[in-house]
Chain A
Amino acid sequence: MSSPAGHGNFSPQSLKALSDIVGPAFCRSQPIDLELYSYDSSPFIHYPSVVVIPGQVEEMAEVVSLCRRHGWPLTCRGAGTSLSGGAVAHRGGVLMSTTRMNRLLEIDLLEETALVESGLVNLDLQKALAPFGYMFPPDPASQKASTLGGNIAENAGGIKGVKYGITKHHVLGLELILDDGSLVKTGALKKGFEFIAPDLTGIFLASEGTLALVARALLKITPLPKSYKTLSVVFDSLLKSGQAVSAIIAQGIIPTALEIMDRRLIAALEDYLRLGFPVGAEAMLLIELDGLGPELDPQLAKIKDICFRSGAVSLEEAETAEDREKLWLARRSGNGALGRIKPSTIVQDVTVPIVHLSKMLSLVQEVADRHQIIIVQMAHAGDGNLHPHLLFDPSDGQEYLRCLKASAEIFAAALKVGGTITGEHGIGLEKVTFMTDEFTKVELDFMAAIKSGLDPTGIFNPDKVLPQKWQAYRKAKGS
């Protein structure tokens, strides 16, 4: 889990060169700084050699070109909420934090776009848009902290994904910094010329900072819905809640959100937030519809009917905006609440075709029983995206190993039904060895060709996404 690889190995000249670019206050190499930036929200810990916090795109670009010249590994970091080890500096080197690149440059209501710097926090954008009656639909549960650059690099999803899609559906163009420090624009940032040139925006979504850095992004914004209907539905089995989700989708109803929480999570949330949740219930489904008032009632009636036919025990509609907020606060607090059961968590992220959702939920439970670990289940169920939380105590090495084995079985089961090992959290370091289970050698070669075309010396976020054999990384020269 830990490797202080790059700790302190940069020469004074190298540090000076970096500090000349970003300013001494924003070039940090004291042990306490390196400690602070050695982890993200995954169990991985790796120490950078130096942390830089640029305040301008030009500074970002200069740092990149310096890294390229010296062969220094460069890991970009937004808020460090990656759950797959994407934001840790696996080979040491330079860790670039984008937290000062947090300007909202423009909201254009006629174009329905927002131009942002990559370090802007997702929720700060939402807050700025709301008074104009707009939102940025991708709303990861980490939105209070996670940055738009991180959302783009991971192609983050969110609770509203069923209806509104994921980050890639809302990115119109990017301003990127290539490995030589040059700036390029893609998509709609080319202002009309995108129609007569290839649009390469897509390849950078979910590329986890391994191909280029995102400096700015042009995002599509969406009018806020006029009204909501939110339901919490209690089931006496997890399986039945999954079946209800599949049935709702099969009926052609597309709610805004369809979230499943299992018995343990319901109890942990109640213990944490005291919202009056039905402790003891086996599963709860949170369902939200949004749109214009009159269209919601007929859909709601259908959904209620499907839930009862799938075996719902009880069903409650949020009467007020406050009730609704409480339910979503609970859903977003899931990870935190679980800290009351065990101190650490591995969050998995497999995604399956929607017809296999309930089967997969049952299978995860079987895996937990087999390995004698606690797996708490929550899921962006309407997307077929499961988030089994595997709980462990870091002081119990055996338990951690059992969690890793259980994770591998969950991956295999998802792949077997035509699913994927990650729906939104990314490959990072965590799943990189499983890439050969999901892709053929030809496919990995093809991805590696893209990597080596855009980052021939392998400076960008080494060891992520592609397995070792496919990495372009040349041994870092340190300095």
Chain B
Amino acid sequence: MVVKPKSHGQLKIVYLEAKSAGKSILPCGLGHNLNLSTDHDRFVAISSRGLNQIESIEPDNLLAEVGAGLTLSELEKALAPTGLYWPITGPYERTLGGLMGQGLLGAETMAKGTMVDWILGTTMMNPAGEIVKSGGRTLKNVSGYDLTRLAWRARGSLVMNLSFILKLLPKPKICPVMEFSIKSLKLAASHMETIIKEGFGVQNLRLIGDDKGLRICLWLTGFVEYVSAQEEKLKSLLKDPSDLFEDGFEYFNHVDAIFNLPNEKIKIFAGSRKNLLETVRNLSWIGDHHFVVDLGSGRLALISSPKSSEDLAFESGLVLISGQVFQTSGPLFRRLKTAIDPKGLFATL
């Protein structure tokens, strides 16, 4: 069952109902990453989608307060007239609460960090159905424990986010993506290494292999003068770009779709930059398949691989992350979970 409360009051009622029915609660957004087909009697999925209000947008404070059920596309639309943006780009039709639980890094992650770095405060509901606030409207706050990060990548297992206070930035004047065709995987790996070590300050750096061939793609944002100077330097390193796309946000959303394909179509691996580049250098057969190596988030997405995931993970030293069971067995998590949610109200899938 998925319920969609529209207010904190309604949410509390659902909590109480679930408790009295002896069911656990699974906070969710639009449910993209949920598999409710199994075991669905055990819990009630509560979608935060109904909590999609925009409380305030405060350009003078460079912040916005919004409901956890708001989607990235709704947020972007609301911010457009202000000239500000939230520097986290990802799957547009996902809720902020859902992305927080999944741990969205954002397409600009090499320069801008992760989603949680751009959250100043949050309002949550704890397992007792009580409101807990953490952080706030200030850029810095070290008062008490930082609870804003509790829900990060926790898949709804510790708290349910109701709203967020987001830190905003002026939208960059220009944000082009440059693509460079590359002859071989080995050359690609060595260029990518150089781009990082030369300190180009790119927002993201990817290697894409598909029907259009092998290309390095990198994203620059900022003032016109800055981006032009970077472009010149890159051209002298990699020769003429095969393509230059004006809007990096649009481009990355398009390419990012690959990371959101269903698990049966795609294998996603994670690892260090070194691991990823070694994989590109050494496993030459990868070049025969569609793939994206995203150095920003430390992931490799591979479509229709002939090898088993286990073989690939073994050969590359990467960790298979798609379709894996979420690991909640670590001692740290177990201790926190028992402390915060002793009766196990929030489901751990």
Contacts and interface: CB of A to CB of B under 8 A. Distances in A.
Contact of A423 (B103, B141, B148, B299): B141
Given A110-B196, A198-B153, A427-B144, A192 B339 contact: no
Given A197-B328, A292-B230, A443-B133, A419 B138 contact: yes
A438 B150 CA distance: 19
Interface in B121-167: 126, 128, 130-134, 136-150, 152-155, 157-158
A110 B295 CA distance: 10
A176 B336 CA distance: 14
Interface in B230-272: 230, 269-272
A425 B141 CA distance: 9
B50 interface: no
A420 B131 CA distance: 19
A55 interface: no
A184 B330 contact: yes
A461 to B, nearest CB: 13
Contacts of B61: 353-355
Contact of B137 (A252, A353, A431, A442): A353
Contacts of A454: 332, 335-336, 339
A384 B153 contact: no
Contacts of B269: 192
A73 B226 CA distance: 53
A294 B128 CA distance: 55
Interface residues of A, number: 92
Nearest to B270: A192
Interface string A219-249: 0100110000000000000000000001001
Interface string B333-346: 10110111000000
B59 interface: yes
Contacts of B146: 155, 168, 202-203, 205-207
Contacts of B228: 294
Interface in A250-269: 250, 252-254
Nearest to A425: B142
Interface in A140-194: 154-155, 157, 161-162, 165-166, 168-169, 176, 178, 182, 184, 186, 191-194
B38 interface: no
A335 interface: no
A453 B143 contact: no
Interface string B191-207: 00100110101000000
Contact of B132 (A194, A351, A443): A443
B60 A246 contact: yes
B62 A450 contact: no
A420 B136 contact: yes
B169 A200 contact: no
B136 to A, nearest CB: 6
B340 A446 contact: yes
A178 B331 contact: yes
A203 B337 CA distance: 13
Contact of B330 (A197, A202, A211, A466): A197
Given A418-B136, A435-B144, A453 B338 contact: yes
A294 B232 CA distance: 13
B52 to A, nearest CB: 23
Nearest to A212: B332
A444 B144 CA distance: 8
A452 interface: yes
A459 interface: no
B64 interface: no
A184 B329 CA distance: 13
Interface stretch (B28-36, B88-96, B179-187, B317-325): B317-325
A200 B152 CA distance: 8
Contacts of B287: none
B326 interface: yes
Given A110-B193, A191-B271, A383-B140, A291 B131 contact: no
A75 B272 CA distance: 35
Given A186-B332, A385-B140, A450-B145, A193 B327 contact: yes
B145 to A, nearest CB: 5
A380 B145 CA distance: 22
Contacts of A442: 126, 128, 130-132
B298 interface: yes
Contact of A192 (B145, B229, B318): B318
A195 B60 contact: no
A112 to B, nearest CB: 7
B40 interface: no
A352 interface: yes
Contacts of A200: 332-333, 336
Given A200-B332, A252-B170, A450 B318 contact: no
Which of A192, A440, A443, A453 gathers most chain B CB within 10 Å?
A: A192
Contact of B138 (A211, A246, A420): A420
30 contacts: A109-B197, A155-B142, A162-B139, A168-B146, A184-B332, A191-B319, A192-B272, A192-B298, A194-B153, A195-B319, A196-B319, A196-B325, A196-B326, A197-B327, A198-B328, A202-B116, A202-B149, A203-B145, A203-B147, A205-B149, A249-B62, A292-B230, A385-B139, A423-B142, A447-B145, A449-B339, A450-B145, A453-B335, A453-B338, A454-B339
Given A110-B197, A205-B149, 9 more contacts: A166-B140, A192-B319, A193-B327, A195-B299, A197-B327, A252-B62, A293-B229, A353-B63, A427-B143
Interface of A: 108-112, 133-134, 154-155, 157, 161-162, 165-166, 168-169, 176, 178, 182, 184, 186, 191-203, 205-207, 211, 220, 223-224, 246, 249-250, 252-254, 291-295, 297-299, 351-355, 380, 383-385, 418-427, 431, 435, 438-440, 442-444, 446-447, 449-454, 465-466
The 10 closest A-B pairs by CB, nearest first: A453-B339, A202-B149, A252-B170, A192-B319, A223-B199, A294-B225, A423-B140, A295-B226, A197-B327, A295-B223
